[in-house]
């Protein structure tokens, strides 16, 4: 079965600092990968999705970016964080059966 590793689990960053969240997938090859953000008490907002190495689709204009340097690695980055970037970030992978597997999430607080 698929396993999603996501880190760091929690981080507190000042406004204007850079960000790097990493996600790796085990148990499958060539998955579709997703980054979601969940603001407090809100639903899921799709940020990026990728169907292969180097292929990134952005859903929402923002100061975040994503990269997929390897088949099972997905990275979310920012050069300068904003207060509005605070939230719970979830990485997920799309299995052959159509369902998504999720990591445990990364909680980001921007001060």
Partner 1 sequence: GNSVTQMEGPVTLSEEAFLTINCTYTATGYPSLFWYVQYPGEGLQLLLKATKADDKGSNKGFEATYRKETTSFHLEKGSVQVSDSAVYFCALSPETSYDKVIFGPGTSLSVIP
- List residues binding partner 1 (CB under 8 A): 6, 32, 34, 41-44, 46, 49, 51, 57, 90, 92, 94, 96-105
Shortest reach from residue 24's CB to partner 1, in Å = 15
> End-to-end alpha-carbon separation of the chain, Å?
38
Which token pair is 69? Answer: 């340097």
Which token pair is 86? Answer: 């605070």
Neighbours of 38 (CB within 10 A): 15
> What Cα–Cα distance (Å) separates residue 84 from each residue in 39, 48, 62, 96?
9, 17, 10, 34
Identify which of residues 5 and 62 has a Cβ nearer to partner 1 in the complex: 5
Shortest reach from residue 71's CB to partner 1, in Å = 16
Shortest reach from residue 39's CB to partner 1, in Å = 12
Identify which of residues 17 and 57 has a Cβ nearer to partner 1 in the complex: 57
Identify which of residues 69 and 97 has a Cβ nearer to partner 1 in the complex: 97
């Amino acid at each position: 079965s698929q396993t999603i590793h996501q880190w760091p689990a929690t981080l507190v960053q000042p406004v204007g600092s850079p960000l790097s969240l990493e996600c790796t997938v085990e148990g499958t090859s060539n998955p579709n990968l997703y980054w979601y953000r969940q603001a407090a008490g809100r639903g899921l907002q799709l940020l990026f999705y990728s169907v292969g190495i180097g292929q990134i689709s952005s859903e929402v204009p923002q100061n975040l970016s994503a990269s997929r340097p390897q088949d099972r690695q997905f990275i979310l980055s920012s050069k300068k964080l904003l207060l509005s970037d605070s939230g719970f970030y979830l990485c997920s992978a799309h299995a052959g059966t159509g369902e998504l597997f999720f990591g445990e999430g990364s909680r980001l607080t921007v001060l």
